[in-house]
């Protein structure tokens, strides 16, 4: 009868005793066991946080895992499992936690580190500024203060969704730049697993089809446009730069960043260094006589600046917004970059110059590897002929007929 007196009945330890609904209902201060040393602590203020009680190297330790608002039940269980495993292997979870808190950077810090490390690779300072500024504007609000190892698809979706359909091109660039930062974080050992940017498109609505090419002015309208530029009462740096851009068929950034030490007036040539070229390769531009005239005028107006077409201060390159304002002044519906397309159409339809000469004038890369291997020169003298004829086409009187055949 009394044989059972003194026998201790062992209760089963709780295992995953809590659930989301129960946690929401708890409002009394105290410690609530989930099992395996994981507790939900409720303060007198009503704040709820997770805590793991375990033994580390023979000593009992209470390890905070974060507040309920930041750490879900599932995340708390997973983190508790990792720390218990470390303790069993005689490792110190507290030391690991301190290292993680001190070492793993936020997205903001990581992005600025990547920006600094890539500084030498930027084609120009403006490109580098645009790279980091788009992240500051569109990524930092959602990702800036989060550690890079805590960023996943939901956070990236939050950053991209507001601009995905309204600023499509910008959104695509932000997505790519977020991916670059997270790739760096993985390479630096701060992240594991795949880059969440790779699958983010599946969670975003489909964007409309891209417009494709820049709106190009028909080449037949280019002479009238240039005459409009030159028709101003007083020549200005922006007008000279715009005409120079059209006559050389160069890209906007290449012209705006042009420096006097790149110009050789005796050889009538402009050598753009590789670091300023889209293809990363030095490009020589033959200068037609009209270009030399423009440079002479620019020299008088540049007031000793290193830049051929300086901005107002003289110490910096002119902004591309100035060229856009000229387009508006002349009530043009086309784009600045579109003049390159106009030049290419003109060369194809109105001249007999070979295609490779026209492509070389635009500094396009030869896509055929075999052909590229045999292309040793830059066809400079043939391109000089082409650019001279282009200038003649633009400046010929409307009632004159100009021969558009390459000189023999």
- The CATH number for 228's domain is 1.10.443.10
The reply to whether 13 falls in a domain is no
| 74 & 148 share domain | no
Determine what percent of the chain is predicted with pLDDT higher than 90.
28
Show which of 42, 69, 103 is a domain's final residue: 103
Under DSSP, the state recorded for 8 is P
| 285 & 317 share domain | yes
Q: What is the mean pLDDT of the chain?
A: 82
CA distance 252 to 214: 13
The reply to whether 213 falls in a domain is no
The reply to whether 10 falls in a domain is no
At 38 the pLDDT is 92
At 122 the pLDDT is 60
Q: Which residues of 339-371 are buried (b: 16+ CB within 10 A; e: fewer)?
A: bbbbbbbbbeebbebeeebbbbbbbeeeeeeee
The reply to whether 4 falls in a domain is no
At 191 the pLDDT is 81
More confident of the two residues 299 and 2: 299
> 270 near 258, Cβ under 8 Å?
yes
**Overall domain count for the chain:** 3
| 239 & 353 share domain | yes
Confidence of residue 402 (pLDDT cuts 50, 70, 90): very low
CA distance 364 to 398: 31
At 244 the pLDDT is 95
> 278 near 252, Cβ under 8 Å?
no
Confidence of residue 93 (pLDDT cuts 50, 70, 90): confident
Q: Which two tokens stand for residue 240?
A: 């000279």
The continuous run of DSSP H or E covering 129 comes out as helix 125-134
| 236 & 347 share domain | yes
CATH number, domain of 132, equals 1.10.150.130
| 294 & 383 share domain | yes
User: Model's pTM, two decimal places?
Assistant: 0.49
The domain in which residue 147 lies consists of 107-203
| 166 & 292 share domain | no
Mean pLDDT of 195-214: 68
**Which phi and psi angles does 35 have, rounded to 5°?**
125, 155
Q: Which two tokens stand for residue 367?
A: 């896509």
The reply to whether 294 falls in a domain is yes
Show which of 103, 122, 157 is a domain's final residue: 103
Residue 274 has pLDDT above 70, yes or no: yes
Q: Which two tokens stand for residue 239?
A: 């007008």
Residue 400 has pLDDT above 60, yes or no: no
Confidence of residue 136 (pLDDT cuts 50, 70, 90): very high
Helix%, strand%, coil% for the chain, nearest 5: 50, 10, 40
| 223 & 352 share domain | yes
At 100 the pLDDT is 59
> 377 near 356, Cβ under 8 Å?
no
Show which of 61, 87, 103 is a domain's final residue: 103
CATH number, domain of 44, equals 3.30.160.390
| 228 & 366 share domain | yes
| 236 & 290 share domain | yes
The reply to whether 211 falls in a domain is no
The reply to whether 31 falls in a domain is yes
| 379 & 256 share domain | yes
| 252 & 361 share domain | yes
The reply to whether 1 falls in a domain is no
At 371 the pLDDT is 45
| 264 & 286 share domain | yes
């Amino acid at each position: 009868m009394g044989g059972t007196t003194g026998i201790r009945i062992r209760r089963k330890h709780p295992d995953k005793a809590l659930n989301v609904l129960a946690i929401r209902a708890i409002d009394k201060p105290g410690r609530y066991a989930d099992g395996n040393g994981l507790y939900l602590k409720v303060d007198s203020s009503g704040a709820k946080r997770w805590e793991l009680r375990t033994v580390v190297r023979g000593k009992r330790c209470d390890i905070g895992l974060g507040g309920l608002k930041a750490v879900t039940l599932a995340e708390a269980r997973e983190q508790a499992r990792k720390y218990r495993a470390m303790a069993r292997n005689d490792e110190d979870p507290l030391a690991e936690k301190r290292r993680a808190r001190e070492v793993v950077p936020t997205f903001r810090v990581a992005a600025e580190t990547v920006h600094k490390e890539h500084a030498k690779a930027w084609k120009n300072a403006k490109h580098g500024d645009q790279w980091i500024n788009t992240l500051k504007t569109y990524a930092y609000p959602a990702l800036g203060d989060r550690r890079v190892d805590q960023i996943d698809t939901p956070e990236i979706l939050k950053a991209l969704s507001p601009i995905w359909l309204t600023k499509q091109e910008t959104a695509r660039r932000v997505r790519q730049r977020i991916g670059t930062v997270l790739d760096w974080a993985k390479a630096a050992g701060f992240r594991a697993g795949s880059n969440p940017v790779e699958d983010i498109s599946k969670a975003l609505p489909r964007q409309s089809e891209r417009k494709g090419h820049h709106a190009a002015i028909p080449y037949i309208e280019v002479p009238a446009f240039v005459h409009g530029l030159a028709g101003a009462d007083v020549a200005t740096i922006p007008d000279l730069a715009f005409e120079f851009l059209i006559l050389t068929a160069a890209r906007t950034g290449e012209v705006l960043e042009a420096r006097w030490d790149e110009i050789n007036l005796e050889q009538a040539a402009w050598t753009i260094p590789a670091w300023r070229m889209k293809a990363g390769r030095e490009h020589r531009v033959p200068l037609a006589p009209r270009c030399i005239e423009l440079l002479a005028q620019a020299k008088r107006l540049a007031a000793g600046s290193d830049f051929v077409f300086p901005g107002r201060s003289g110490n910096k390159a002119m902004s591309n917004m100035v060229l856009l304002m000229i387009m508006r002044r002349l009530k043009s519906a086309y784009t600045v970059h579109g003049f390159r397309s106009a030049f290419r159409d003109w060369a194809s339809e109105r001249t007999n110059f070979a295609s490779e000469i026209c492509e070389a004038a635009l500094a396009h890369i030869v896509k055929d590897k075999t052909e590229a291997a045999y292309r040793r020169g830059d066809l400079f003298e043939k391109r000089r002929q082409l650019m001279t004829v282009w200038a003649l086409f633009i400046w010929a009187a409307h009632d004159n007929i100009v021969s558009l055949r390459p000189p023999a």
